[in-house]
Amino acid sequence: MKLGDLGERIFKLFIEVIIPNIRNIKNILNPLKTSLLFNRTLLCLIGVLFKGEFYMKRKIGLNIIALIVFLIIFSSGGIVGAFGFLTTLFAEAENYPPPPWLNEGTRLTYYGISGSIPHDKYRYFDGEGNFVDRDGNRWKQEEHTGTAGQGLYVTDVVAIDQGEVVLSKRSYLIIGETILAPQLLPAKTGSVGFANELWVHPGFLATIQEGIIPGLKIIRTPYTLGGITFNAIRFQVETENSLYVQVYDVETGILLHVGFSGISTGSGVTIHGTPSQVTQIIQVYLVDVRQLDIPWSHGLLSPVSHNTSMLQYDGYYSSSITFVRVAKQQFYQTETISSRWLGQKRVTITQGSEAFPSEVKVVCGVAQIGGTFIPPVALSILTEGQIIDYDPVTGVQVMVFFNGITSQGQRLLGIRETARDFSYDYYYNQDGVLIGMQLSEKPNRWANDETQVNNEYWLSYMQ
């Protein structure tokens, strides 16, 4: 089997970490009742930087660094399929039917941690500086610090349609005991038998033989996760400076673990004049597989959704520290229309930003929370105060905070996602169109940050 040239797709960092214990793992052979819960008391673990800092004091700096680290793990497939070798290997699995556990509303949650350690304490840059070598050359000396981050990666199956699975993805960054408001990751679609390598149909895995082919080792082995031992199949790629591993449960086909470590050359040189190097380790573990009971998932999106090519929302970002109110706009452009889901491109424009508008692929499915459309049947079956879902890993509760007629005579449904440190409010009209959304993020006590952040958008135009 030809896998192609894997190359030296090496990441930059390494740190020795303690992966949180996982507890209360039930039999994954019945995923609809599975609850893989990791020890929340160890969520306070954050990679220790070389300076001994456990956090950055400025939330913006913290979010940027941690987000980059975590997006390395899973954004747009991230490290899962980073080399592309398994995509080629598993191509035939796309012809398989959905595995028995897969349904609209299925949620897979992974915990990931990534960090770096430089090989030398200092690195040097040619030019004006205080360090002088034996030849009289001046160098700028810079401490070479490491970085680390951890978070949760949540994938929801929001629709299944004609052999295609539609995935909505979010990442939750963890800072101390705080789980920050989720970041929306690019949505994915794929075959029900093989979707983004998060699962491979067990029938196909049964056809794969152990052995070694150029660039790849395939090993059938027991794999223990949280005290439960699974019959697993391990795919391992080794190069001169890197190791990449994916482990699957052979009975369900679900991805259990992703691991990567590798060395790369950084900027600057060492005191010996050799290029500075850093090594990275990334560890990702399955912590939860469960079935969400979305009350409206049996319904269909309204004809309005199929006849709408663009939604425009006007809003703002505000901070309790800076007292700055920044105007923002979001545009949702429909690119794919199906009976049970929409594929959209979300474009966000921030006033005064010199950067290009940000774009991300999103989806809107019948089994989704927080989509731009919701089946209108939801307005007739939900009641105020009703708890729709509680996620035992993220701590997010979804409930109905309003369902009725406003003082302005408008039919409105309000759905709230809330956790200890943030809340999202979604407002839908009688046609199931998202007309408004509000995000409130509380001060991050662990980051010594007292900033209260608010984002708010309201529908201003439909086409």
What is the b/e burial string over 363-375, where b = at least 16 CB atoms within 10 angstroms of the residue's CB?
Answer: bbbbbbbbbbbbb
Better-scored residue on pLDDT, 460 or 115? 460
pLDDT at 145: 79
Banded pLDDT at 221 (limits 50, 70, 90): very high
Q: What percent of the chain has pLDDT over 90?
A: 47
Please give the backbone phi and psi of residue 57, each rounded to the nearest 5 degrees, phi first.
-75, -25
- The Cβ of residue 237 has, within 10 Å, a number of other Cβ atoms equal to 20
- Pair of tokens at residue 222: 């027991």
- Give the largest Cα separation in the chain, rounded: 82
- Pair of tokens at residue 122: 């200092």
Residue 60: helix, strand or coil by DSSP?
Answer: helix
Banded pLDDT at 379 (limits 50, 70, 90): very high
Measured in whole angstroms, the distance separating CA 222 from the mean position of its chain's CA atoms is 27
The whole model's pTM is what?
0.81
Res. 86: pLDDT tops 50: yes
- The Cβ of residue 133 has, within 10 Å, a number of other Cβ atoms equal to 11
Contact 364, 373 (CB under 8 A): yes
Res. 446: pLDDT tops 90: no
- How far, in Å, CA of 32 to CA of 27, rounded? 10
β 148-161/106-118 pair status: antiparallel
Distances 368 to 104, 166, 206 between C-alpha atoms, Å: 9, 10, 32
Q: Which of 11, 38, 94, 86 is nearest to 286 (CA)?
A: 38
DSSP 186-211: EEEEEETTEETTTEE-HHHHTTPPPE
Distances 54 to 102, 175, 412, 448 between C-alpha atoms, Å: 39, 9, 44, 11
pLDDT at 89: 78
- Pair of tokens at residue 33: 């009742």
Contact 452, 442 (CB under 8 A): yes
Measured in whole angstroms, the distance separating CA 231 from the mean position of its chain's CA atoms is 27
pLDDT one-digit tens code per residue, 160-201: 998 899 999 999 988 877 788 888 888 989 899 998 779 999
Banded pLDDT at 322 (limits 50, 70, 90): low
- 52 Cβ partners below 8 Å, 6+ apart? none
